[in-house]
Amino acid sequence: MKSISVIIFAGAFLISCTSKNQPSSIDSEHIPAHIQALDNVSVLSSEEFPTNTISIQRDKVFSSTDDIYFWGVGSMAVDEQGRLFIETAGEMGQSGILVFNKDGSYEATLGRYGRGPGEFEMIQDLQIWNNRLYVLEKFDVHIFNLDDLSHLETFVIDMNSIANESSFRKKRPGQQLYVLNKDSILLEFETPLPLKIQTGQDSLFYALINSQGQITSDPFWKVRAFIFFNRSDGPNVSVPLPFVLPFTRSSHVAITEDNHLYSNWNEEILIKQFDPKGQYQRSLYIPFNNVPLTQEEAYDIAHFEKRIEALKEEAILQSWPAVHRIHTDTKNRLWISTITKSDSLFTWYVVDDDFKPLATFKLKGQKRNRTAWHPKGLIIKDDYLYQVQPTSVRESAKIIRYKINWMN
């Protein structure tokens, strides 16, 4: 059986689990002070991850068929039957959710372009919970029954339900939602673009909304988002538009089947876990040497002359982030993808829900083309990994499904 090699990523740190008061076996000189100050933090060396417990085999390609053509992919979701739901990106006025069977055949398209119930203009996110597909679309949440793919209901996110003094009054629904239960959805809110630029620092706020679209006025959770290059000091958006680049620092968020939350500021491999009420529980830290980033490389990635000129006014960090993205699966395992010297591979680490190291492996991916925020082109579910494969302009999009084989 052909599979991707399982390769350990070298590290040079001692192995331990620690609390706020580190045991003497930890070489504290190698652990940053802000990590040592954390309560209930587990410290793992990259060398502790086994290399012979997992293999990943390319299994199926989902792409255009004789029945349907698409050249872009936004959000994705996978149901219990192994069907793949894809938000398409195509011609102006084209909007819908493609449904592919587990064998790769096209089954149906949900919704169409429009402003009515079950119709979409701009889809932000897809989530599946309890045999229902939830579609976040601007200020609407559409719900489909996965038994027969019928549209069940659409409710409006009721901004008027927010108390006048709430910080959410100055924000808008963002790009992500997480269905916690039948009457509770965790919804991201973000700062409007001009204010986001002027502050020079941004956060993502999360609120709970119920099945009638009413919003809790107090933030449930808050994480850092990212900082733009070419920020504006005034009320007008500067020219060229503010931008982010593949080496921009940003937050990653993941949620488990039992509604535990993970967040990571990708400067380092520090994953914080929160309980279903948004309260901090513990952290995982893996010491990591970030890959150097030269000024010339940064300018080359920026590519456009005006962006390069804007970068010359900025203090560019001299390294790449440590973390590319984080994910959870249906068994509450945590998957961490890291950025290495390779331009075509990411190194992954897998831990169980007790932060026990399970595996490490490499998977194809281009760090120069990575998205700095809300990466959605990957799903891990039921021992399958689905990843969007970059394609050239106008070439049909491709989603590669890999089979995850555990060998213990």
Task: Give one DSSP letter per residue of 43-93, joined into a string.
Answer: E--GGGS-SSSEEEEEEEEEE--SS-----EEEEEE-TT--EEEEE--STT
Q: Quick one: 61-225 is in which CATH superfamily?
A: TolB, C-terminal domain (2.120.10.30)
Using a cut of 0.75, tell me whether the model's pTM lies above it.
Answer: yes
- Looking up tokens 């921009």 gives 248
Stretch 186-201: mean pLDDT:
75
Strand partners, 83: none
With beta carbons less than 8 A apart as the criterion, state whether 79 and 64 touch: no
Per-residue model confidence (pLDDT) at position 119: 85
The residues spanned by each domain of the chain are: 1-48+245-372, 61-225
Give yes or no for residue 396 having a pLDDT over 90: no
For every residue of 328-375, DSSP letters joined together read: E-TT--EEEEEE-S-SSEEEEEEE-TT--EEEEEEEE--GGG--SS--
SS3 call for 33: helix
Which of 46, 51, 35 lies closest to 12, judged by CA?
Answer: 46
Burial 252-262 (b: 16+ CB within 10 A, else e): bbbbbeebbbb
Q: Pick the more confident residue, 130 or 391.
A: 130
Report CA-CA distances (Å) from 394 to 65, 203, 234. 15, 35, 38
Give yes or no for residue 321 having a pLDDT over 90: yes
With beta carbons less than 8 A apart as the criterion, state whether 131 and 145 touch: yes
Per-residue model confidence as pLDDT tens digits over 262-308: 999 999 999 999 999 999 999 999 999 999 999 999 999 998 888 89
Per-residue model confidence (pLDDT) at position 68: 86
Burial of 211 from C-beta contacts in 10 A (0-12 / 13-18 / 19+):
middle
State how beta strands 119-120 and 112-113 pair: parallel
From 90-94, 96-100, 108-112, 191-195, the region with the lowest mean pLDDT: 90-94
Q: Pick the more confident residue, 197 or 130.
A: 130
CA distance 104 to 42: 41
Per-residue model confidence as pLDDT tens digits over 211-246: 999 999 899 998 888 878 876 565 555 666 788 899
∠ CA(149), CA(152), CA(157), 5° rounding?
125
